[in-house]
């Protein structure tokens, strides 16, 4: 029983870290691309959305190319900082973050774009710099959309399978997340383990959805 908690806790750890990364990166990209239009901004927008439509294994392959030992970033990380990401839980965080990123990005883009420009302009005339306009006006008015996107991203990161398997493999206790553990249990014919893990995963997902629904009901 306690063995089953190991993949769950690992999954939560990976999903929380990945969600924190995509919340920051997704909102930052949505803000910059929504506010500044420059040559190539539409191409960057398409690239930011791409992981949503690409098969996770394809994305995992790209990540291997970039972060692998001989990859552009992977080789540099290994040589200069001694960090290697393949077959580590940090690698799984990168895989989950890449897959979940578009969910926050798209939600933030839509909700920041729908904030009344008059309100942002009113703040500017009242002496606010762009940082204050963003943190005191735009973001508080767009937070519902951003929050909903973040919850979806968390759920997506919890259920990540394909890209994680390609980058981090399936090392029990180290990189074996709950989805991968379920797959392995079914493959090995351990039905009771699989049943328990499936129930546990379902329960966690229901709790997260219920909690976020409750949170979203709050009015300002």
Partner 1 sequence: MKLDVQLRMRLKAEDRLFQLEVAFQSAKSLIVIFGPSGAGKSVTIQAIAGLIKPDSGRIVLDGRVLFDSKSAVNLAARERNVGYVFQDYALFPHLSVAQNVAFPLEQSLRNGASGAAVEEFLAKFDLADLGTSYPRQLSGGQRQRVALARALIRKPDILLLDEPLAALDPVLRGKTRGELLKLQQSFAVPMVVITHDPADVEAFAEDLIVFDIGKVAQQISIDSNRRASQVREVLGLG
Round to whole Å and give the CA distance between 184 and 164.
Answer: 14
**Closest CB 137 distance from partner 1, rounded Å:** 6
CB atoms < 10 A from the CB of 27, how many? Answer: 24
**220 sits near partner 1 (criterion: CB under 8 A):** yes
DSSP-derived letter for residue 80 is I
Helix (H, G, I), strand (E, B) or coil at 167: helix
Q: Which C-beta is closer to partner 1: that of 119 or that of 188?
A: 119
Q: Which C-beta is closer to partner 1: that of 1 or that of 125?
A: 125
105-124 positions binding partner 1, by CB under 8 A: 116, 118-119, 121-124
Q: Which C-beta is closer to partner 1: that of 58 or that of 128?
A: 128
Round to whole Å and give the CA distance between 133 and 131.
Answer: 5
Options 72, 132, 211, 213; binder of partner 1; rule CB under 8 A: 132
Options 128, 198, 205, 208; binder of partner 1; rule CB under 8 A: 128
Round to whole Å and give the CA distance between 97 and 93.
Answer: 6
**125 sits near partner 1 (criterion: CB under 8 A):** yes
**131 sits near partner 1 (criterion: CB under 8 A):** yes
Residues touching partner 1, count (CB under 8 A)? 20
For residue 81, what are its two tokens? 């900082």
**Closest CB 217 distance from partner 1, rounded Å:** 16
- From 19-27, 45-53, 125-133, 210-218, span contacting partner 1 (CB under 8 A): 125-133
- At a CB cut-off of 8 Å and minimum separation 6, what does 61 contact? 166
**CA dihedral of 86, 88, 94, 97, whole degrees rounded to 10:** 140
**218 sits near partner 1 (criterion: CB under 8 A):** no
Round to whole Å and give the CA distance between 19 and 93.
Answer: 9
Residues that bind partner 1 (CB under 8 A): 116, 118-119, 121-129, 131-132, 135-137, 140-141, 220
């Amino acid at each position: 029983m306690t063995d089953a908690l190991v993949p769950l806790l690992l999954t939560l750890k990976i999903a929380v870290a990945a969600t924190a990364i995509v919340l920051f990166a997704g909102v930052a990209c949505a803000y910059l691309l929504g506010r500044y239009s420059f040559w190539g901004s539409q191409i960057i927008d398409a690239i930011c959305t791409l992981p949503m439509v690409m098969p996770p294994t394809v994305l995992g392959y790209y990540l291997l190319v970039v972060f692998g030992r001989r990859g552009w970033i992977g080789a540099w990380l290994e040589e200069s900082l001694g960090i290697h990401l393949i077959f580590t839980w940090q690698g799984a965080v990168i895989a989950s973050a890449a897959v979940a990123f578009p969910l926050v990005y798209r939600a933030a883009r839509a909700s920041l774009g729908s904030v009344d420009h008059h309100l942002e302009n009113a703040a500017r005339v009242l002496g606010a710099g762009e940082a204050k306009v963003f943190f005191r006006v735009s973001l508080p008015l767009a937070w519902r959309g951003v929050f909903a996107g973040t919850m979806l991203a968390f759920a997506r990161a919890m259920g990540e399978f394909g890209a994680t398997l390609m980058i981090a493999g399936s090392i029990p206790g180290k990189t074996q997340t709950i989805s991968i553990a379920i797959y392995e249990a079914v493959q090995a014919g351990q039905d009771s383990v699989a049943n328990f893990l499936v129930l546990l995963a379902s329960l966690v997902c229901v709790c997260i959805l219920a909690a976020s629904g409750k949170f979203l009901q709050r009015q300002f």
